[in-house]
Amino acid sequence: MSAVFEQIFQVGFLAAIIRIATPLAFATLGEMFSERAGVLNLGIEGIMLLSAMAGFTAASLSGSLWLGVLVAVLVGALMGALHALFTVALGLSQHVCGIGVTLFSSGLAYFLYRLIFGQQSVPPSIDGFKPAPIPLFSDIPILGPAVFNQFTLVYLAIIAIPLAAFVLYRTPWGLSVRMVGENPRAADSAGVSVIATRFQAVILGGALMGLAGAFLTMAQFNAFTFGVVSGRGWVAIALVVFGRWDPWRSAGAALLFAFVDALQLRMQASGLGHIPYEAFLMLPFIFTIVAMAFMSRNAVAPSALLKPFRREER
């Protein structure tokens, strides 16, 4: 067992946690904005996959990684708009439409990928983002190499957390988002457009999901595979609940999940070979379920979550 502990308390382990947490943090913040406005977005898994594919393709064809990121964000925002069209403008079931968006986006991602890259024995890869150490900070012992010697997208995620909290709690738009998620009628009678605010929040959420997808194919794996998202979207939905719809707590939840995920990776690699590796793979998910069961019992969802808003209803 000592080998396990040795490996755990390495700088590399801390860095791995941060890296694993990054796409989860983007996705969780994205889902959080959507849900705070009252719209559950079950399209997240598919949106991440399609964005990951679109970003990878754009980067691969143009040679510009940042263009790839931009494309991924735009595709995410577009799919967010599609989900908002169904659930906000037309007031359809958020569950059904979300699953529809996931199935549609995943199918489209597979289809377009095959169309563009064909069937290849070795999946094409790109030269992804390289760590961009921040001068001075990266020299801090332990913390430096773990936090300040990362991809630019990681820094972006670290900035996104306080930024999301600021937008949600300190700006009039954030207040409108929270209000339309709690009591859309109150927002409406105060002259706030419920439809527009929800559209904006779901689109912003989609864009953040797109960033999460971009990170997977352009920083983490540098290639697109059909299993590249592998449930991270669904996990993000659970993390939003775990984080009680709050940016800080949600990011914390993402970090905690990443810790368990990094831990199980290390355990797989260490001397516990006699246990099937699938058992370790389960760990983060078991952790999520247990954590949710104990920590989220009195979590209260936004009151108007899942409820479409119609003005002339009496």
Partner 1 sequence: MAGRPEGGIALPFAVSRIVSEGVPLSAPLIEMRGITKSFGAVKANEAVDLSVAPGEILGLLGENGAGKTTLMNVLFGAYAPDAGEILVEGRPVAIHNSADALAAGIGMVHQHFHLAPRLTVLENLLIGIAGKSGRIDRAGGLARLKEIGRQHGLGLDPDLPVSVLSVGEQQRLEIIKALFRGAKLLILDEPTAVLAPSEVDGLFAALRSMAGQGLGIIFISHKLNEVRALTHRCVVLRHGKVAGRVDHPASTTSAEMAKLMCGHEIVPPTREASTPGAAVLTLDGISTSGHAGTPLRDVSLFVRAGQILGIAGVSGNGQRALADVISGMLPPQAGTMAIAGKTVAQFSPRELQALGLGRIPEDRMTTGLVTNLPLADSMVLPRIGTEAFSRKGLLDPAAIRAFAEAQIKAYDIRCPGPMVRAGALSGGNLQKALLARELAFDPKVLIVSQPTRGLDIGAARFIHEKFLAMRAKGCGIIVIGEDLEELLMLCDRIAVMYEGRIAGTLSSADASVARLGLMMTGAEGHA
What is the contact surface with partner 1 in residues (CB under 8 A)? 170-172, 174-176, 178-179, 182-183, 185-192, 300, 302-303, 311-312
Are 28 and 20 spatial neighbours (Cβ–Cβ below 8 Å)?
A: no
CB of 190 to partner 1, least distance (A): 4
- H or E element, residue 100: helix 94-117
| Ramachandran bin of 304, using left for φ above 0, alpha for ψ from -120 to 50, beta for the remaining angles | alpha
Query: Which one, 93 or 138, has the nearer CB to partner 1?
Result: 93
CA distance readout (Å), 55 to 50, 92, 213: 8, 30, 8
CB 59, CB 126: distance < 8 Å: yes
Helices and strands: H and E segment counts in the chain: 13, 0
Q: At 33, is the secondary structure helix, strand, or coil?
A: helix
Phi, psi of 4 (to 5 degrees): -60, -50
Q: How far is CA 235 from the centre of its chain?
A: 9
- Closest distance between partner 1 and the C-beta of residue 215, in Å? 28
Which of 190/293 has CB closer to partner 1? 190
Torsion angle, alpha carbons of 187, 242, 165, 159, to 10: -140
Considering the complex, state which of residue 278 and residue 312 has its C-beta at the smaller distance from partner 1. Answer: 312
Shortest CB 178 distance to partner 1, Å: 6
| CB of residue 305 to partner 1, shortest distance in Å | 12
Q: At closest approach, how far in Å is the CB of 148 from partner 1? A: 29
Cβ distance to partner 1 smaller for residue 72 or 165: 165
Least separation in angstroms between residue 174's CB and partner 1 is 8
How far apart CA 45 and CA 124 sit, in angstroms, is 22
